[in-house]
Amino acid sequence: MKEGRKVIFSGTSCQIAGLNHFLCKEYDNLLTVEVVCHGVPSPKIWRKYISSLSPSLNFTYISMKDKSDSWRGYKIRIKGEIDFVNEKASKNMYMLAFAQNLSLRPSCFNCPAKAGKSYSDIILADYWGIEHVVPKMDDDKGTSFVCINTVNGAKMFDKVITKRTESSYEASVKYNSCFFESTKEPIGRKDFFASFSKVGITILSSLQPIRRSLLVRITDRIKKITG
Residue 213 — very low, low, confident or very high, per pLDDT cuts 50/70/90?
very low
pLDDT in tens, 145-171: 999 999 999 999 999 888 889 988 888
Element (H, E) at 23: helix 13-23
Q: What is the mean pLDDT of residues 204-218?
A: 64
**pTM of structure:** 0.83
Q: Taking the CA atoms of the chain, what radius of gyration do you get in angstroms?
A: 20
- CB-based contacts of 97, cutoff 8 Å, min separation 6: 41, 45, 103, 192, 204, 207
For the chain, first and last CA: distance in Å?
Answer: 49
pLDDT in tens, 119-132: 999 999 999 999 99
223 pLDDT higher than 70 = no
Q: Are 40 and 63 in contact (CB under 8 A)?
A: no
Q: Are 40 and 104 in contact (CB under 8 A)?
A: yes
222 pLDDT higher than 60 = no
pLDDT in tens, 18-66: 999 999 888 889 999 999 999 999 999 999 999 999 888 888 999 999 9
Q: What is the pLDDT of residue 221?
A: 53
Q: How many CA atoms lie within 13 A of 189 on its CB side?
A: 18
Burial class (CB in 10 A: 0-12, 13-18, 19+), 218: exposed
- Please tell me the least confidently modeled range out of 70-79, 89-98, 135-144, 212-221: 212-221
